[in-house]
Structure 1
Amino acid sequence: MSIGSEPAPSAAMEGSWGQDSASVRTQEACHPIGQAPDPIRPASLLDYVPHYVEIGDLGRGNFGLVLRALDTRPTSQSPEVAIKMLPRGEFIRNYKTYVKREIVHQSSLRHPSIIRLREVFMTPTHIGVVMDCANGGDLHAYITRRPAMRLCEEEARWFFQQLVVGLDYCHSRGVANRDLKLENLLLDSADSPRPILKMCDFGYSKHELNSLPKTSVGTTCYMAPEVYLGYTTYDAKVADIWSLGIILFAMLFGAFPFKGRDKRYIQAVLLGRYAIPPDVQVSSGVMHLLSLMLVPEPSCRCELSAIIHHPWFLQDLPAGAFEMNARLLAEKLQLEDVPYRVNRLVDMAQRLGDAREPVTFVRL
C-alpha cells in the first residue's frame, strides 16, 4: 500500500470514531487529514475577536477547521497563527474529552518539535484554539511531492531524529501521543533543505497520571496491534514506538509495511510480516532499527531509549539534542490553573451561547 493511497476499511474497521469514546477512528484511514463532522464555518473571526484577522484556510485537524490568521496586537512577537475552530453545542458534547486533552496536554509541552499553543477563546458559536503556524505543510504532502514518493535515508534520518527527540520530551512529561502519523507532523518550511518538524494534534493523547488507556484510537495503518485488537489496557508509550516504526518505513520506502485487507491485513500485522520493496536500497543499520520497533508483541518491542542509543539514530545527530530536552524538562511551567479553566470553558461550550455573550480567553 503506497502512502498516496487509501485502503478500504475492513469489517473490523466499520463505524465512525465519533459514535462513542471507545470506537476506533476508522473512517480516517491513512491519508485524509481528519474525519470529524463538518464544522460550521464561522463567517469571520472579526465577528467576535477583532485582533485576529483571517487570511486563509489551512485545512482540517482531527477536531475542526483550521484557519490562518494574523494576530494584530502590538505585543505579538510572531503575528501569523493557526486557529482551530470547534463549533459549540453538539460537537463539543460529543468530543469534549478529546478537546480537553488536546488543549491541556499540548499546552504543557514546550519544545521546538511541538506546535506551541498560545491561547484558547470562546465566542457564542465556537471555541478557538490559537497556535503557532507551520507554513511548510505536513510530512505526508512533503513526501508525496517527491518523484519517487519517498525520502533518501539521510533525509529520513533528519526527520526521524527530530521526531524521536520531541517524543522523548513528551514521554518524559508523561504524555503519550497515540496518533503519530505523517499528516500530524508539520514542517516550518517546504523549501528549506533542512525543514524543522513539529508535532501537532494531541486530541488522542494520554497522560500517565490518568488511567491506563483502554480505547482504540488512532489511524489504522499507524495503529499498534494491541490498540487495533482492542486490548483491555495497553501502554500508550509502547504503542507510540510502533507508530514510529511505521513512519520511518513510510519515509524510506514510500509505502506502508503491512499489506492486504481485512483478515489478511490483521494476519500480516500480528506476524510482523512486512516486505521490503526490492527497488529501494537502505542500510542494514536502519533495517535493524525497524526490526526492533515493528514487533507485534508489546512486551518484546524496543523502548524509546533503545532507539535513542541505536547507532543508525546517533549518526549525524545534532549536538546537544537531549541536553536541550533536559533543560526544557527542568523548566517550571506556570500552568497550574490551566486544566481547571480549560475544563470549565469546554463544559460551557456544550451549549450554544447568546450573541451578547462576551468572548472568554484562556492564555496558555
Structure 2
Amino acid sequence: MKTQFDKSRIVNVYSPNLPPFKLTLTFKTTFNDVRNQIIQGWSVIPKRVRIFNQNGHELIEQDLQFVLDGNKLYITLFGQDLDASIIFQEYEIVSEIGKGGQGTVLLARHKFIGSFVAVKITRDIEEEDSIIKRESKILKELQHRNIVKVFQTLYFSKTKECIIIMEYLDGGSLLQLIRNKGTVSEQEAKIYIKQIVEALLFCHSKTFVHRDLKLENIMLVNQGNTWVKLIDFGLAGVAGTQRETETMNVGTLPYMPPEVLNGKLKFVSPCVDVWGIGVIMYSLLYGKLPFKGRTNEEKVSNILLCNFQHELSVSEEAKDLINRIFVPKNNQRISIQEILAHKWIGGNGFTQFRRLLKKQENPYIKNSKRKNDFEIRKKSVYDEQKVRISLPLIRYRANSQETIIDISK
C-alpha cells in the first residue's frame, strides 16, 4: 500500500541571496538529485549542498523521504552553516515593534504571500533549557483562539540564534489600552477577563502555567475590537513541578502572589495565574495597579498583606470576585473554574458580546491586501544588520532592581 511519502512531493526551497524555487522530491531522491535540480533551477553549480528543515535542523539524505508536500527547506550551497539571515529570503522586515529580556520582535511581511507576521529573534542562547525554545515548544501545544499562534521556529546551533515566527497582533496590549483610556467599562472588562480565563483553563488542562500574566502580555488582535490573546510564555512552567527542578520565584513584581514572594510555593501551581487575573481585572476597572509602594519592599509588603482598596465606581459583584482572588493563602483562593462561573463574569449582556467576538478575525492572517496600512513604515525598511542584536535572558524576581512600569502615571 502506497503512503504519502511514496508520491511525488513539491517543497519550497530557500537559499541565501537566491530566489526561492520549488523542489520535487520522491521516495528515491538523493542529495545528488537535489544538486541537479539546483543547477537547473538556480543556474548555480554548488560545491557542497547542505539541507535544513523548516526548524533549522540539518538533514541527512535518508531524511528527504519524510519531507511532506508543501514543506519548506533551506539549502546552503558551499558548505556554510545556516544563520538568521535566511529569513530575509522569505520576509521583508518592516519595523521593530518591541524589545525585551528575551529578544527583539520585528514586524515582517512575507515577500510572496503578503501576510504580516511578528518575528522574535534571540541570540547567544544555549540549546538546552533555553527560555525562548521552551516558549516555542509550549505554544505549539497550545492551539487556542486566545493564545498567540506560532507558525515556525528556527534554531541555529552554530550561531546560537533562535527565531520564532508568530502571528502579528495589531491591536496593542491591554497596558496600552489602559494608558490611552484610563479605565474600561465593566462590560468591556468582562469580555477581556473571560477570554483570559478560557485561555488559561486550556493551558492548565495541558499542565502549563503561564506564571507571567500582566497587562503587557495580553494583546488585542486588532485595533477597535475586543478579541485578545495571551503572549510571552517564556516563564511558563509545568504544573506540579517541584522547586528542585523549576525556579519558583519568577514573574513581574506587581503581579506576583504572596506564596511566590514568601517562598512558600513548592510546586508550579495554577494559583499563580489566578492572582494575575485579579491584578489585570483590578487594573482594567480602576486604571491602576492594586498594590502600590514607593519601593519594591513596600510593594512586597502590601502584596503579602493583601493591602489594596476598592472604589465606589465598581459593582459589588466585581468587588466580590477581586476579594476572592486577593486571598493570601493560595489554598483558600478562588479557582480558575470558579472565576468562570462567578456571577460577575456571566452577567447580563455577555452573550451578545460573545457573538460579536466570534465574528472578529485577524485580517493580517487571512487578508494580505491591507498593504497600505504600512506604506509609511515600509519607506524606511528596518536595517537587516540591526536584527543581530544580543539581549540577555532574564527572569524577573521579587528582589529585582528592574524598573516597574506604573500604569497609573
Place the TM-score, normalised by the shorter chain, in its bin: 0.5 to 0.7
Change (3 A) 1:259 1:95: farther
Distance 1:293 1:121, change over 3 A: same
1:59 is the counterpart of 2:98: yes
Distance in 2 (alpha carbons) for counterparts of 1:137 and 1:264: 30
169, 189, 204: which is aligned to 1:134? 169
- SS of 2:148's equivalent in the other structure is coil
Distance 1:296 1:202 in 2: 25
Instruction: Report the RMSD for the aligned CA atoms in angstroms.
Output: 2.6
Encode CA deviations 1:301-321: one digit per residue, 9 max, x unaligned.
111111011111112444898
Q: Which residue is equivalent to 2:368?
A: none
The residue number in structure 2 matching 1:70 is 109
TM-score normalised according to structure 2 size: 0.61
State the SS of the aligned residue for 1:167. Answer: helix
Match of 2:227 in 1: 196
Q: 1:309 aligns with which of 336, 341, 345?
A: 341
Partners of 2:353 and 2:142 in 1: how far apart?
Answer: 19
Unaligned runs of 5+ in 1: 1-43, 322-364
Q: Which has the higher contact order (CA 8 A, sep 6+)?
A: 1
Following superposition, the deviation at residue 232 of structure 1 comes to 5.3
Amino acid at match of 1:208: A
Corresponding residue SS for 1:236:
coil
| Closer, same or farther: CA 100–319 of 1 in aligned 2, 3 Å | farther
CA distance in 2, matches of 1:73, 1:62: 32
- Contact 1:186–1:199 (CA under 8 A) maintained in structure 2: yes
Residue 234 of structure 1: how far off its partner (Å): 3.6
Distance 1:259 1:187 in 2: 26
Q: Pick the structure with greater CA Rg.
A: 2
The 1:57/1:318 distance shift into structure 2, 3 A limit, reads farther
Whether the 8 Å contact between 2:241 and 2:267 is mirrored in structure 1 is: no
Residues 131, 238 of structure 1: CA spacing in aligned structure 2 closer, same or farther, 3 A cutoff?
Answer: same
- Give, in whole Å, the separation in 2 of the partners of 1:266 and 1:45: 41
Is the contact between residue 46 and residue 53 of structure 1 (CA under 8 Å) also seen in structure 2?
no
Partner-residue secondary structure (3-state), 2:139: helix
1:121 aligned partner, one-letter code: L
Aligned to 2:310: 276
Contact persistence 1:62–1:201 (CA under 8 A): no
Q: Partner residue of 2:250? A: 217
The CA distance in 2 between the partners of 1:143 and 1:249, in whole Å, is 11
Matches within 5 A, 1:336-347: none
Aligned counterparts, 1:223-242, within 5 A: 223-231=256-264, 233-242=266-275
Q: Which residue matches 1:327?
A: none
Structure 1 pair 111/158, CA: closer, same or farther in 2 (3 Å)? same
Distance in 2, matches of 1:304 and 1:298, equals: 12
Partner Cα distance (2:335, 2:265) in 1: 21
Tell me, yes or no, if structure 1 residue 79 matches structure 2 residue 130.
no
List gaps (5 residues or longer) in structure 2.
Answer: 1-82, 355-409
Offset at residue 62 of structure 1 (A): 4.3
284, 288, 297: which one aligns with 1:255: 288
Any idea what the Cα deviations from partners look like across 1:325-354, whole Å, max 9, x if unmatched?
xxxxxxxxxxxxxxxxxxxxxxxxxxxxxx
> Partner of 1:55: helix, strand, or coil?
strand
Q: How far, CA to CA, are the matches of 2:296 and 2:90 in structure 1?
A: 50
Write out per-residue CA displacement over residues 224-266 of structure 1, whole angstroms, 9 at most, x where no aligned residue. Answer: 1111222351442011101100000000001111122344333
* TM-score, normalised via structure 1 length: 0.68
Deviations 1:170-203 (Å, cap 9, x if unpaired)? Answer: 111111100000001111122x2x3210100000
**2:237 corresponds to:** 206
Q: 1:48 to 1:253 in 2, by over 3 A?
A: closer
Residue 276 of structure 1 aligns with an amino acid whose one-letter code is: H
Aligned residues: percent identity? 28
Asked whether the 8 Å contact 1:46–1:52 carries over to 2, the reply is no
Contact 1:289 1:310 in 2 (8 A): yes
Contact 2:191 2:353 (8 Å CA) reproduced: no
